[in-house]
Structure 1
Amino acid sequence: MLQHLTALAESTGDDLLSLIGQSFDITAQLESLSLPRILLALLTATLCGAIIYLVYRMFYRGVVYSDNFNILVLLITVVTAFIIMTISANLVLSLGMVGALSIVRFRSAIKDPLDVGFLFWGVGAGITAGAGLYFVAIIGTVFVAALYIILTMVKKERRCYLLVVRYGTDAESNVNALLGTLKYKLKNKTQINDRIELTIEIKTANNDTTQLSRFKAIDGVDSVTLLEYNGEYMN
């Protein structure tokens, strides 16, 4: 019995040492990454990144479209793919790469929460492509693209604006009467001598700008300005 346990322990130890040796044998494991597999993974990641790029460009509904950010999403998809291929090829390389990537810091502020979703979308497509799940990467990318397009098309288009009205004190009663017909939030009201500047937040559908003409038609109103507003910055 003791001899059997000793033999089993020696066998297990030999297997463990063999496994550790294989983990450090970088050359042998990297040979498993054949050229066709590398090209197929990169082409799949590029295809998925191109789909994400087109969806972001054609159906973006934010305040400011950034082509640089869109290109970044495409590059992240491809870069993530070959990172995952490297990690899957060797344990030692994966530990070193995780340590190297942990020191990377990104300080660019992301204005629109949807941009974060596109970044995760690109990373997810790159991970699945790099892991060799090419069919999953393509189907998943197409499914998310279709879902985003449908949600964008069915969403009621109501945008938030800041309406800035400058007028004299003699027109205040008429301005207040018109404000009584609107749903708005008061942001700022400044009066210098007999001139008043009023800033309100309103929501309109389908880029409706009729409020401009309604305020402009009031006698005593000097100017009316409409600014698109998303709570952080104006356009």
Structure 2
Amino acid sequence: MNDFESLFRQLDATGMAPPPTLQGLVLSLLLALTLGQLTAWVYTKTHAGLSYSRSFCQSLVYLMVIATLVMFVIGNNVVAAFGLMGALAIIRFRNVLKDTRDTAFVFLTLVLGMAIGSQRIAVALVGGAFLLLLSLWLHFTRFGVRSHFDGHLSYRLSGPQDGTGVGELLNRVFTRYCQELKVVTVHDSGDQVEYVQQVRLRDRKRGNELVQDMRGVDGIGDVTLVLRDESVEI
């Protein structure tokens, strides 16, 4: 028993970092608050699906500040570290994260908060900037999505097509609203042709405008645009 007590005293007396000051504590908490808000903002902008929670977004900010404060409480005191571990063991965490990506952001906020609290500011800034930029890059490049099309477009072309300019007008509409088109099926019944195409829009929010402009072209009817639910592939 005396050996353990002497070990704790030696570790506690070994100062690997200067004692924290009030100014250092305030600056670290402000940095954690700023970086936590930036992390939560990136999470909000890159989130996809139906499991978005405002409380979880705010919790990311709380976690980074709390982790920073915990590191100041522990410092180089091993006894305090074990005491805090025992206190946290009493708390039962019943929240189940529905998305594994949420778990990654929780770990990110905790690690950055620990880095700030241990006065490794450069590690927190460089590591945080790298991981947040990585999250934005994965989001905007649609990394991991199996299909890059937004949905299916179906329409019927009826009446004579030669010399009417319908194809040219239709191509203008497609150029205005679509980045890419891929024909899935073509059904020719003689007096009319039915098309089903996969479509990638320039802006998903302008899908209704695409449908309205197509309906305004003579000879085009039964225009239907079915967009893929973004929550299917996250």
Give me the TM-score of the superposition, normalised by structure 1: 0.57
Greater share of helix residues, 1 or 2? 1
Question: Is this contact kept in 2: 1:33–1:89, CA < 8 A?
Answer: no
Instruction: Could you tell me which runs of 5 or more consecutive residues in structure 1 were left unpaired when the two chains were aligned.
Output: 1-15, 162-179, 182-202, 211-216, 218-224
User: Which residue is 2:157 aligned to?
Assistant: none
Which among 80, 83, 87 is matched to residue 70 of structure 2? 83
Describe the SS at the equivalent of 1:102.
Answer: helix
Cα 1:73–1:122 change in 2 (3 A) is same
Output one character per residue of 1:96-115: Cα deviation in whole Å (capped at 9) or x when no partner.
10111122222222222211
Rounded Cα–Cα distance in structure 2 between residues aligned with 1:138 and 1:73: 17
| Partner amino acid, structure 2, of 1:127 | M
Deviations 1:112-160 (A, max 9, x none): 2211111111011111011110121111111111111111111166589
Q: How many angstroms apart in 1 are the aligned matches of 2:105 and 2:68?
A: 16
- Find 2:79's aligned residue among 92, 103, 114: 92
Segments of 4+ moved more than 3 angstroms: 16-25, 156-161, 203-210, 225-231
Partner AA of 1:63 in structure 2 = L
Q: Which amino acid is the alignment partner of residue 36 of structure 1? A: Q
Tell me which residue corresponds to 1:139: 126
Query: Which residue matches 2:107?
Result: 120
- CA-based RMSD: 4.2
29, 40, 47: which one aligns with 2:34: 47
C-alpha distance in structure 2 between counterparts of 1:123 and 1:21, whole Å: 28
Name the amino acid aligned to 1:140: G
Say whether the 8 Å CA contact 1:159–1:228 is kept in structure 2. Answer: no
Counterparts in 2 of 1:62 and 1:205: CA distance versus 1, 3 Å: farther
| Pair 1:152-2:133 in alignment | no
8 Å contact 2:40–2:61 — kept in the other structure? yes
**Identical positions, percent:** 26
Change (3 A) 1:99 1:59: same
If the length of structure 2 is used for normalisation, what is the TM-score?
0.57
Residue 117 of structure 2 is aligned with which of 125, 130, 133? 130
Over 3 Å counting, the alpha-carbon distance change for 1:63 and 1:127 in structure 2 is same
Give secondary structure in 1 for the equivalent of 2:75.
helix
> What is the CA deviation profile of residues 163-205 of structure 1, one whole-angstrom value per residue up to 9, with x for unaligned ones?
xxxxxxxxxxxxxxxxx95xxxxxxxxxxxxxxxxxxxxx985
- Is the CA contact 2:49–2:230 (under 8 Å) kept in the aligned structure 1? no
Distance (whole Å) between structure 1 residues aligned to residue 42 and residue 95 of structure 2: 22
Tell me: CA distance 1:106–1:227, structure 2 relative to 1, closer, same or farther (3 Å).
farther
In the TM superposition, what is the alpha-carbon distance from 1:22 to its structure 2 partner?
6.3
**Partner residue of 2:91?**
104
Q: CA 1:54–1:22 in structure 2 vs 1: closer, same or farther (change >3 Å)?
A: same
Query: Quick one: which amino acid aligns to residue 137 of structure 1?
Result: A
Task: Provide Cα deviations, 1:62-113, integer angstroms capped at 9, x if missing partner.
Answer: 3343221110011001101111221224221111101111222222222222
Q: Deviations over 1:200-234 (max 9, x none)?
A: xxx98555799xxxxxx6xxxxxxx9884756xxx
Match of residue 36, structure 1, among 17, 23, 32: 23
Q: 1:160 to 1:76 in 2, by over 3 A?
A: farther
Shift of 1:54: 1.4
